[in-house]
């Protein structure tokens, strides 16, 4: 499986999440490589590690404002830190489930990990990191795919 098709599994998973969960379309911005630097992270980040046929990690990172509006669209009134962590973890978990389904047993996908307000805890492997902006309403998040 080529890297581009692998990345598309994760992109399609995020876009599908927005369509089904908040019932509004998100758009994919122009992907780019994070060359010579660590990809930027936002307030909340949901990460999954990949091993097996390929190794690396994938993470979805979003600002608090975006996640709060998503919760409102889902008819949720609790905008607490814990609920924001749950949401970004749920998005990562959805990505993980899609990857398991599409990649099969040759990819081992970890349980999602959530990092909030602590960007130095989001460390990427020594792999090429593709950064895909995810734009929804006036908000922007990032999907980052790092595969060796």
The pLDDT of residue 21: 92
Largest CA distance in the chain: 42
User: Is a pLDDT exceeding 90 seen at residue 18?
Assistant: yes
d(CA 73, CA 11): 21
Higher pLDDT, 44 or 101: 44
Q: How many helices, marked H, and strands, marked E, lie in the chain?
A: 3, 8
The pLDDT of residue 2: 63
pLDDT tens by residue, 1-17: 467 888 888 899 899 99
41 touches 129 (CB < 8 A):
no
Question: DSSP state, 74?
Answer: T
* First-last CA distance in the chain: 13
The pLDDT of residue 1: 45
The pLDDT of residue 34: 87
How confident is the model over 87-97, as a mean pLDDT? 88
Closest-CA residue to 3 (of 56, 67, 43): 56
Structure token pair of residue 99 = 């990857």
pLDDT tens by residue, 54-81: 788 899 999 999 999 999 999 999 999 9
Question: Which CATH class name applies to 3-147?
Answer: alpha beta
The pLDDT of residue 104: 76
């Amino acid at each position: 499986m080529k890297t581009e098709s692998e990345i598309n599994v994760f992109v399609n998973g995020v876009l599908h999440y927005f369509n089904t969960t908040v019932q509004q379309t998100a758009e994919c911005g122009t992907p780019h490589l994070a060359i010579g630097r660590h990809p930027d992270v936002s307030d909340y980040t949901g990460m999954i590690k990949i091993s097996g046929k390929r190794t690396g990690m994938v993470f979805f990172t979003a600002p608090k404002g975006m996640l709060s509006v998503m919760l409102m669209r889902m008819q949720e009134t609790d905008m607490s830190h814990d609920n924001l962590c749950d949401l970004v973890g749920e998005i990562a978990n959805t990505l993980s489930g899609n990857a398991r389904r599409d990649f099969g047993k040759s990819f081992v996908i970890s349980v999602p990990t959530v990092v909030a307000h602590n960007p130095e805890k989001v460390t990427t492997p020594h792999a090429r990191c593709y950064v895909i902006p995810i734009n929804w309403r006036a908000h922007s998040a990032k999907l980052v795919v790092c595969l060796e």
